[in-house]
């Protein structure tokens, strides 16, 4: 957990570069490809890359909700509303990485 926070903090504004993160490449984070993927993004792509991921996640959720709202019948809104919870684990992952 502390390594994830250290990785996020060491990224700075623009990061250390793709594939050049010290916490990630030296294997201080054990499950960096699954549980700590947001920390890896924060370290290698920095605040800008992390913000892009957050905006992208919010945009996808917004589009799912909008598609459900614009549906013409109750069956058509079931698909976007059914896909919406698939992005919840992404938010939980980001929350865990940020403590």
Residues in the chain: 99
Q: pLDDT for 35-59, tens place per residue?
A: 677 888 888 888 999 999 999 988 9
Higher pLDDT, 31 or 14: 14
* C-alpha distances out from residue 82 to 55, 63, 65, 67, 96, Å: 21, 13, 10, 11, 24
Query: Residue 14 pLDDT > 90, yes or no?
Result: no
Residues 6+ apart with CB under 8 A from 17: 44
Q: How confident is the model at residue 33 (pLDDT cuts 50, 70, 90)?
A: low
- pLDDT score for 51: 93
Tokens 């996640």, residue located? 57
Terminal-residue alpha carbon distance, the chain: 8
Q: pLDDT for 64-98, tens place per residue?
A: 888 888 888 877 777 776 776 777 787 887 887 77
């Amino acid at each position: 957990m502390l390594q994830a926070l250290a990785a996020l903090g060491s990224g700075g504004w623009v990061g250390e570069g793709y594939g050049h993160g010290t916490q990630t490449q030296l294997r201080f984070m054990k499950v960096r490809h699954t549980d700590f993927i947001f920390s890896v993004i924060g370290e290698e792509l920095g605040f800008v890359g992390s913000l892009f991921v957050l905006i992208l996640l919010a945009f996808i959720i917004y589009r799912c909700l909008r598609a459900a709202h614009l549906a013409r019948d109750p069956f058509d809104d079931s698909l976007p509303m059914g896909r919406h919870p698939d992005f919840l684990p992404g938010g939980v992952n980001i929350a865990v990485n940020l403590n």
